Chains A and B, each alone.
Chain A
């Protein structure tokens, strides 16, 4: 690790203001975490503290009776969540061993460590370790000259962004029956500002998912309209719905997706009464709440299995057939059973972490989930089902762990009979 990649900040008065200021930079979606070290900050406790700041709940019964090696997990999750800055509060508590391991993990994940020490100057032991570990190819960029006080840092870095409001489980507003061309305008007229903002945010999510899909097709140099296959569109729309929690959220997302698709040359009709059909979907959605719950797992296979089950709504027999290369490079979607399922941006780290883990196992196009007893083998449907039940029990999420709960089979998208698609350039209609 280069000397320039490490930041050392002093807080002589050990203030709450400093802790709060760095705390406000914590935002996993933007690749920043703030780690609060529990005393006495040993190698093992620091790994736990980092995992906790990554949203892991190590009290979950993940691997009963097994010793979990925490630092490899730290490295996997830092990389998977694409963390770029690790703010370590009370870094003066780190012992030499823990500091070295922290720097190694940050380097492996290409994250910049920020060591915030509650003292007028960093401890001599810390500087010794840094001198030994950091590379200083330029010679003139001395780490000591780059130590900043909290006040200097705050002035240099500016105001931390306001923390996003935590989603509150408020009832979803009653939505108008309008089709997509007037839906947003009517919502703006009818709904309170707060409710409109929620609807607008979901529309944006739907629109973004559709745009990503359209752009991906364009990058494959296929015609924007001719190649819009109706079946694939159904797959996209099913995916748009899969990660939303309530029928209202699903409809708002669909309206957003319809806008993007219309601009790309596909007129999609979705009647508002389809909401009643959406309401019968019994599984949970891969929304932010579910993502947070799944992020609680330190084990990557549990988090990924839960996320994929929710993103696709598919049963174990379909998830079991997934391979590593079923995932797109950027983990924005997964293909399976003839459909593409988008993965919301906030949940991609969950799946990326498992791909990183499988990558470490030298698996390129192998099964995404492997058998626990025989790592060379694909996981069995029964084992995957058991795994999903474990995830469901630990998180309280309703996962599609059993095909029998769906009368028509889990691969049937409930809206398929209600949606009509018209490709504008060809005039084909279904």
Chain B
């Protein structure tokens, strides 16, 4: 699995932020110990890119799944088994669970559950059941956005089992000035005040918003054949926020 920048943004570099490095370390540790961990933080703060970057370097098969909101245990079993076996699973949850336990016992793996905050208590219990079984050999990484930690923290069965926990947050202004000039060549030599303007009005410290802004600004700069300046910046604001007055 290879990490891709949001919107397939070209020319963007992978920034070794603290959270990204902690995620890499956590994933390595989880795989080594077949343990359970969580990466959480608000949407757009770089979690998905971080775990996708991290899992690209591990030497075990990675099974990444995402469930619909409030799935049933049967649905969890079906999705997991379908992803692991490559076929459409049929049968009762009991039969699927037996198969799942067998498959998860075959070889070491890393299972990533994205949007883990959508799991309800029964499903968390079910995932824990699979992981606790002494025969299974998988590391489990739960990734979640808003409310994820609050959901997981409520469940003692998970709290006591989480071996690694990485929290993502929006970048501070200082971090923006440190990170963004190296994030994309578009920002090389750009006035720090302009970067802060973009962050204040548009990105708010979120990587996803910076990627969105960069994607559009890159095209506008190419069209006008000029480097990024305030006029282009405001044009991008207008494109995204619905009018020429946006961001004023």
Contact = CB atoms under 8 A, between A and B. Distances in A.
Interface string A13-34: 1111101000100100000000
Nearest to A47: B94
Given A39-B73, A39-B122, A118-B156, A48 B94 contact: yes
A205 B159 CA distance: 46
A337 B173 CA distance: 88
A394 to B, nearest CB: 14
Given A36-B129, A36-B133, A39-B73, A57 B156 contact: no
A58 interface: yes
A338 interface: no
Interface in A90-118: 93, 118
B30 to A, nearest CB: 14
Contacts of B73: 39-40
B132 A19 contact: yes
Interface string B65-107: 0000000010000000000000000000011011101100000
A39 B160 contact: no
B131 to A, nearest CB: 9
B160 A14 contact: yes
B78 to A, nearest CB: 15
Contacts of A39: 73, 122, 125-126, 129
Nearest to A40: B122
Contacts of B156: 13-14, 118
Contact of A52 (B98, B157, B159): B98
A175 to B, nearest CB: 33
A63 interface: no
Contacts of B178: none
A45 B94 contact: yes
Interface residues of A, number: 23
Contacts of B129: 36-39
Contacts of A48: 94, 98
B189 interface: no
Interface in B101-135: 101-102, 122, 125-126, 129, 132-134
Contact of A118 (B101, B126, B134, B157): B157
Contacts of B98: 48, 52, 57-59
Contacts of A17: 160
B168 to A, nearest CB: 25
Interface string A350-379: 000000000000000000000000000000
A44 interface: yes
A118 B155 CA distance: 11
A33 to B, nearest CB: 12
B103 to A, nearest CB: 11
A44 B97 CA distance: 14
A150 to B, nearest CB: 12
Contacts of A37: 129
A163 to B, nearest CB: 9
A129 to B, nearest CB: 21
A298 B26 CA distance: 41
B125 A15 contact: no
Nearest to B162: A16
Contacts of A93: 125
A57 B102 contact: yes
Nearest to B121: A39
A38 to B, nearest CB: 5
A59 B102 contact: yes
Given A14-B157, A57-B102, A44 B94 contact: yes
B122 A16 contact: no
Interface in B156-199: 156-157, 159-161
Nearest to B124: A39
A17 B163 CA distance: 12
A14 B125 CA distance: 12
A352 to B, nearest CB: 25
A118 B126 CA distance: 15
A120 B209 CA distance: 46
Contact of B99 (A15, A26, A59): A59
Given A36-B133, A39-B122, A39-B125, A59 B95 contact: yes
B161 A16 contact: yes
9 contacts: A13-B160, A16-B160, A23-B134, A37-B129, A39-B122, A52-B101, A57-B98, A58-B94, A118-B156
Interface of B: 73, 94-95, 97-99, 101-102, 122, 125-126, 129, 132-134, 156-157, 159-161
Lowest 6 A-B CB distances belong to which pairs? A14-B156, A39-B125, A15-B160, A14-B157, A16-B161, A59-B98
Given A37-B129, A38-B97, 11 more contacts: A14-B157, A15-B160, A16-B132, A39-B125, A40-B73, A45-B94, A48-B94, A48-B98, A59-B95, A59-B98, A118-B157
